[in-house]
Copies of this chain bind each other. A is one copy, B any other.
C-alpha cells in the first residue's frame, strides 16, 4: 500500500477503512486511484498487487481506448457507415447503420439466429460474419441494448478491416505497449503464473447492501427473451479464453494495469495524452439513455463504447468514461477532477456487475479531487 498525493494524506485512513469494510480479502481485490496523474491509492487484499484477473466487460474500456486511437489517427470516423469499412455488414437492412450507432449498442445485434457458438466467439471472423449477416433484432436507432459479448467481434472486425490487425493486436501495439500497462486483451502464456483464477461463487452481500439492492433482476434474462443463447463465462476465464482475449469480455489485468492504460491515454497532470482528448470527449458524450433492451434494465446509458455514469452506476461527472465488469471490476476516468480509478475483484460481487460496495470510495475520491 502506498499513498503519494498530498491532497489525499488526511483522507488516507478513511479510504483504507472503507476498503477494509468491503471485504476485499474475500473478494481478492485491487484498487488503484490516480489523481492528476499521481497514484493516491494503491491497495490490495486477498491477492498480490501483481496478480492478474479476468475483468470481463472492463475489457470494453480497453478496446475503447484502441478505437479512440483509430479516430485520433484519422483512420476511423464515428459518423461514417459501418458498411463503408466493412461492406458485408450492409446485409439485412444495415446499410445505413453508422459506426456511432454500432458502438453505442443501437445496432440490434445482441445475438444471432442461429446462435453464436463458443467456437465462433474464439474465432473473431466467424462471429463477425454471423453478425454481419444478421437482421437487427430491432430497427437500428429505435432503441438500444447492451451488446455484452457481440460488441467484441464487431469492434475487432471493424479494426481488422481498417488496419489488418485484430482488436487484440492493435490494442497491444498501440495502447498496452506504449502505456506499459499490465492490462491484456490476449494474455501471453508467460504471464499465466500471475493469474488468479476467478472464484465463481458470489460474494455474500453486507446486510445493508442486500437490503438496499434486492437481487430482483437477472442481468442476462433479456437475451433469453430475444431467443438468443448465452456464452458461458467459463469460455472467457479458462486458458483459451485468456489467450484469445475477447475484446468485449476476455481481458486480463491488474488494477495497476487498468489505471496505467487509462492514465497513459488521458494524460492527466503534466503528461501527454496517448489519444486525442477531443476524441475522448466526443466518446464521453451520451448517445443513449433509458431502458436497455438487452439487460432489460432501466437507467442504462452509453457514450461511444463507454458506459455513462447514471443513477444506477454513479461513478462520475457527465464527462466521465468507464466500464464495469460482470464480477465487479471497474475502470473509469473523469476529466473533472482528473481521476483515474481501476478496481479488480477475483470473485463475483453482489448482485453482479457494478460493485456497489466500492461506491463510498468513488464518492470520496470525487469529493476530494474536485474540492479545490
Binding stretch for chain B, among A117-125, A290-298, A342-350? A290-298
For the complex, what is the distance from the CA of A290 to the CA of B289, rounded to whole Å?
11
For the complex, what is the distance from the CA of A138 to the CA of B284, rounded to whole Å?
9
Interface check A188, CB cutoff 8 A:
no
Binding stretch for chain B, among A39-47, A231-239, A311-319? A311-319
Interface check A183, CB cutoff 8 A:
no
Which chain B residues lie closer than 8 Å to A282 at the CB level? 93
Proximity string of chain A (141-162) to chain B, C-beta cutoff 8 Å, 1 when within and 0 when not: 0110000000000000000000
Q: Which residue of B lies closest to A334 (CB)?
A: B227
Proximity string of chain A (302-325) to chain B, C-beta cutoff 8 Å, 1 when within and 0 when not: 000000010100101111000000
Which chain B residues lie closer than 8 Å to A226 at the CB level? 317-318
Task: Judge whether A138 and B227 touch: CB under 8 Å.
Answer: no
Interface check A9, CB cutoff 8 A:
no
- 209-232 of chain A: CB within 8 A of chain B: 225-228
Task: Judge whether B143 and A281 touch: CB under 8 Å.
Answer: no
For the complex, what is the distance from the CA of A316 to the CA of B113, rounded to whole Å?
14
Task: Judge whether A311 and B296 touch: CB under 8 Å.
Answer: yes
Task: Judge whether A225 and B285 touch: CB under 8 Å.
Answer: no
Task: Judge whether A289 and B227 touch: CB under 8 Å.
Answer: no
Chain A binding surface, main DSSP class: loop
Question: Provided the pairs A227-B318, A317-B226, A317-B227 are in contact, do residues A138 and B289 lie with their beta carbons within 8 angstroms?
Answer: yes
Interface check A362, CB cutoff 8 A:
no
For the complex, what is the distance from the CA of A316 to the CA of B318, rounded to whole Å?
35
| Central interface residue in A136, A289, A319, by most chain B CB within 10 Å | A289
Q: Which single member of B227, B288, B314 contacts A336 (CB below 8 Å)?
A: B227
Interface check A5, CB cutoff 8 A:
no
Q: Which single member of B138, B289, B319 contacts A293 (CB below 8 Å)?
A: B289
Which chain B residues lie closer than 8 Å to A311 at the CB level? 225, 296
Proximity string of chain A (178-193) to chain B, C-beta cutoff 8 Å, 1 when within and 0 when not: 0000000000000000
| Central interface residue in A142, A299, A316, by most chain B CB within 10 Å | A142
Closest 10 CB pairs of A and B: A227-B317, A138-B286, A226-B318, A137-B318, A143-B289, A227-B336, A139-B287, A139-B285, A227-B318, A142-B287
Return 10 A-B CB contacts under 8 Å, by A number: A135-B285, A137-B285, A138-B286, A143-B286, A225-B317, A225-B318, A227-B318, A227-B370, A290-B291, A291-B299
Residues of A within 8 A of B (CB): 93, 108, 113, 135-139, 142-143, 225-228, 281-282, 285-291, 293, 296, 299, 309, 311, 314, 316-319, 336, 370
Given contacts A225-B311, A290-B291, 6 further A-B contacts (CB under 8 A): A93-B282, A108-B286, A225-B309, A227-B336, A291-B299, A296-B311
